[in-house]
Amino acid sequence: MTDLATKALNIEDLRQMARRRLPKAIFQFIDRGSEDDIALRHNRAALERIKLMPRVLHDVSGRDPSIDLFGKPHKLPLVIGPTGPAGYVWYRGETALARAAAKAGIPFTLASNSNTAMEDVLANGGGNQWFQLYVWRDMEASMPAVERARDAGFEALVLTVDSTVPYNREFDIRNGVTFPVRITPRNAVDTLIHPRWMFGTMGRYVLAEGHMPRYVNIKIPDTATSAEVRSFLTKNDTLNWDFLRRIRDMWPRTLIVKGVLHPDDAVMAADCGADAVIVSNHGGIANDAGIAPIDALPAVVAAAGGRLTIIVDSGFRRGSDVLKGLALGADAVIIGRATLYGVSAAGEPGATRALEILAAEIHRTMGVMGLTDLQSITRDHVVLPGQLSA
Ligand SMILES: Cc1cc2nc3c(=O)[nH]c(=O)nc-3n(C[C@H](O)[C@H](O)[C@H](O)COP(=O)(O)O)c2cc1C
């Protein structure tokens, strides 16, 4: 067993390793939700309230957790979701995540605001990669990113629609994690007492590239002041269904809408030509009073499951969580923090460890459930809170 395999037995172990390696401000940036962290906690509570109903005395010796997604086989029912700060937690963390995904045989989604150019991540990460799009205040300046992603050969475009207004993350403001970063005595000390991150991540950018990490998928003039850059990076709150139709016209491959919770919105996405929706609350970041995606999933599946591929995320930390999502009708599950903790803790091997843990848990839970393949999982394999006696 490698060192990581003995130290990290579950995703929470990787989270604790990430907590030790990262400055507190950066750790909170990836770990917390928004406002009072209610949605963050509720995502977990909602998953924990759902129970699995096992079947017994089936020969489960030949378990196969693979799925087909958009006509392609994948070894696990997982996708690594887009997480903007991957390049801040590890030097070229996006490529590390892409490689881990390719090795595990699952897709990787590159965030718009990555610190490594999309073409580099595609070439050096390999595997099946999707590109996630944020639309910035200047809508037309966002379009070249779509053209670049199309020309580079990303297999899917993920349009994120739940983040058109800024998140209310008071802890980030207090921690100085703003744009530009606010250096305070507290976060200066915080950085100094985390030398593995200071030298291993930030120091490496400065040595190798001559500057701190930057957004490289957006064309921001070199002469822009901090205030201009901040204004540029503000997302576009005019986004509407016409924009989705416009993107459909220019994107020739799989188009996925991320951040849908209402069944009627899923139907609208299908009407606009989307291929899939991701039922998501951005890992509890978008709206602290919002519904948990796992609770929203059954209605979305009922309304649009026949027309769309349905993916779910937010709060998935165990293989058993993944099986609950699939039993409620999802075709696949996105993980955000699970692999982000892994890459924060130990780079590509850390992300690989997160996927190994989830793969082993999925495999084991399939056995407990009497399942040899994931195509046989149905609504009968879960019991919702309302069906349980008090
Ligand atoms: C630190 C962090 C950064 C994120 N950045 C992005 C992003 O750039 N684009 C996006 O569409 N979603 C982003 N997300 C949301 C994830 O893609 C995903 O929806 C979420 O992490 C799933 O919840 P989980 O972290 O509980 O697995 C981010 C999430 C986190 C935690």
In this structure, what CATH number is given to the domain that contains residue 189?
Answer: 3.20.20.70
Percent of the chain past pLDDT 90, that is, above it, reads: 89
Helix 118-125 vs helix 139-152: crossing angle, to nearest 10: 20
Given a cut of 70, is residue 390 above it in pLDDT? no
Domain-located, residue 377: no
Q: Which atom of ligand 1 is nearest to the CA of 111?
A: 8
Best CA proximity match to 34, nearest among 245, 289, 300, 386: 289
Which residue's entry shows tokens 């999933």? 297
Do 43 and 281 meet the contact criterion of CB atoms below 8 Å apart?
yes
Q: In this structure, is residue 390 part of a structural domain?
A: no
Q: Which residues are catalytic?
A: 282
The H or E element containing residue 207 is: helix 204-209
Phi-psi region of 259 (alpha: psi -120 to 50; beta: other; left: phi over 0): left
Give dist(CA 142, CA 154) in Å, integer. Answer: 16
Integer Cα distance of 194 and 89 in angstroms: 12
List the single range of 254-268, 328-342, 376-390 with lowest mean pLDDT: 376-390
Confidence of residue 227 (pLDDT cuts 50, 70, 90): confident
Closest Cα to residue 94, out of 78, 112, 77?
A: 112
Residue 388 lies in a domain: no
378 belongs to a structural domain: no
**Sorting pLDDT into bands at 50, 70 and 90, what band is 180?**
confident
pLDDT for residue 161: 98
Q: Is residue 383 part of a domain?
A: no
CA of 90 to the centre of ligand 1 (A): 16
Domain membership of residue 319 as a residue range: 3-372
DSSP string covering 237-284? TT--HHHHHHHHHH--SEEEEEEE-SHHHHHHHHHTT-SEEEE--GGG
pLDDT tens digits, one per residue of 93-113 = 999 999 999 999 999 999 999
Task: Please give all residues whose beta carbon lies within 6 A of any atom in ligand 1, as ranges.
Answer: 30, 81-85, 111, 113, 132, 160, 258, 280, 282-283, 285, 313-316, 334-338
Give how far Cα 234 sits from Cα of 115, 171, 179, Å.
Answer: 17, 19, 11
**pLDDT at residue 387 in the model:** 87
Q: What is the pLDDT of residue 214?
A: 87
The answer, yes or no, to whether residue 389 has pLDDT greater than 90, is no
The reply to whether 46 falls in a domain is: yes
**Residue that wins the pLDDT comparison between 361 and 215:** 361
What confidence category does residue 354 fall into, taking pLDDT thresholds of 50, 70 and 90?
very high
Prediction pTM value: 0.97
Residue 57 located in a structural domain: yes
CA distances 387 to 120, 168, 382, 390, Å, are 49, 35, 10, 9
**Number of structural domains, the chain?**
1
Cα(111) to centroid(ligand 1), Å: 9
Q: Determine the atom of ligand 1 nearest the C-alpha atom of 278.
A: 19
Give the distance (Å) from ligand 1 centre to CA of residue 61.
35
Q: How far apart are CA 333 and CA 330, in angstroms?
A: 7
Residue 39 forms part of a structural domain: yes
Can you give the pLDDT at residue 221?
76
pLDDT of residue 219: 79
